[in-house]
């Protein structure tokens, strides 16, 4: 599993609008090296490696997701 943030590994990643996310990724990849989902959000399901707690976080980029995890701003269940 790859890690999204310290002590949090990615269990799954799901786009909330697949067509817009794909177009956004292609456009962003052509322009820069970091993928940002301009038109759509992505929901990451992450697991804390120490405790096994599973949470979800929705964000427009991996950096945004990392910041939300660091702040403990997970999605409401």
Condensed to tens digits (0 to 9), the pLDDT of residues 26-39 reads 766 666 655 555 55
Residue 64 belongs to a domain: yes
- Number of domains the chain is built from: 1
Would the pTM count as exceeding 0.85? no
Phi and psi torsions of 13, nearest 5°: -140, 130
> In this structure, is residue 19 part of a structural domain?
yes
Domain membership flag for residue 39: yes
CB atoms within 10 A of CB 42: 21
Residues in a beta bridge with 51:
none
On whether residue 76 sits in a domain, the answer given is no
**Model pLDDT, residue 56:** 95
How many angstroms separate the CA atoms of 77 and 56, rounded? 8
Q: Rounded distance, CA 41 to CA 72, Å? A: 18
Residue 77 counted as domain residue: no
């Amino acid at each position: 599993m790859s890690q999204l943030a310290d002590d949090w590994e990615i269990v799954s990643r799901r786009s909330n609008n697949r067509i817009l996310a794909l177009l956004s990724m292609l456009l962003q990849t052509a322009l820069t090296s970091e993928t940002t989902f301009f038109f759509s959000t992505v929901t990451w399901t992450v697991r804390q490696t120490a405790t096994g707690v599973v949470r979800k976080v929705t964000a427009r980029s991996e950096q945004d997701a990392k910041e939300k995890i660091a702040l403990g701003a997970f999605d409401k269940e």
